[in-house]
Amino acid sequence: MKIKVINRSAFDLPQYETANAVGLDVRANTSEAIRLAPLERALVPTGLYVEIPEGYEIQVRPRSGLAAKYGISVANAPGTIDPDYRGEIKVILVNLSNEVFELKPGERIAQLVVAQFTRIEWESVEQLSDTERGAGGFGSTGRK
C-alpha cells in the first residue's frame, strides 16, 4: 500500500527498523531539545503530513525502549490519525518517570502503525445474547 506524504521535517521519512517490524519509527522535528519534567506533557511535531486511504487509520503508539528506559509514553496511546485529517502529525508525549527527560531533535519518539477499520451502525435492542463470560470484566476470568 502506498500512502501520500509530505515531509517538511529535517529528517528522512519514518521507516521500519527491521524486516518484520509493524510500526514505522517517527522522529521529533525540533531544532532544540525539549525538556519534559515528571508528569509533564508536550505536543511534539514530526513535520509529516499524510493522505490516508479511506477505510484506514494510522495509530500512534509508544516506543517500548523509551517507555522501559525513561518512562516516556504517548499520552493518548494509541492515538488515531483519521483518514480525513491533513494537518501535521504531532505526538503527545508524557514523562511518567520521576526524572527530567531531554528529548533531542530527531529522536525517535513513537511508532506509526497503519490499520484497516470498519465503520458500524448501531442496532438498538433490549437484550444481548448470553455468553459463558456474561457481564464479568475487570479481572473476572482470574489470574492464571
Of the pLDDT bands very low, low, confident and very high (cuts 50, 70, 90), residue 135 is confident
pLDDT tens track for 51-94: 999 999 999 999 999 999 999 999 999 999 999 999 999 999 99
**What are the structural domain ranges in the chain?**
4-116
Res. 143 pLDDT band, cuts 50 70 90:
low
**Average pLDDT of the residues of the chain:** 95
| pLDDT average, residue stretch 118-125 | 96
pLDDT at 132 over 90: no
- Cα gap 74→26, rounded to integer Å: 12
pLDDT of residue 139: 73
Give the contacts of 30 (CB within 8 A, at least 6 positions apart): 44, 45, 103, 105
* Res. 144 pLDDT band, cuts 50 70 90: low
Domain 4-116: which CATH number of 1.10.10.60, 1.10.8.60, 2.40.30.170, 2.70.40.10: 2.70.40.10
Question: Minimum mean pLDDT among 19-33, 71-85, 127-141: which range?
Answer: 127-141
From edge to edge, which strands make up the β-sheet containing 41-51? 4-7, 41-51, 88-95, 72-74
Evaluate if residue 136 carries a pLDDT over 90. Answer: no
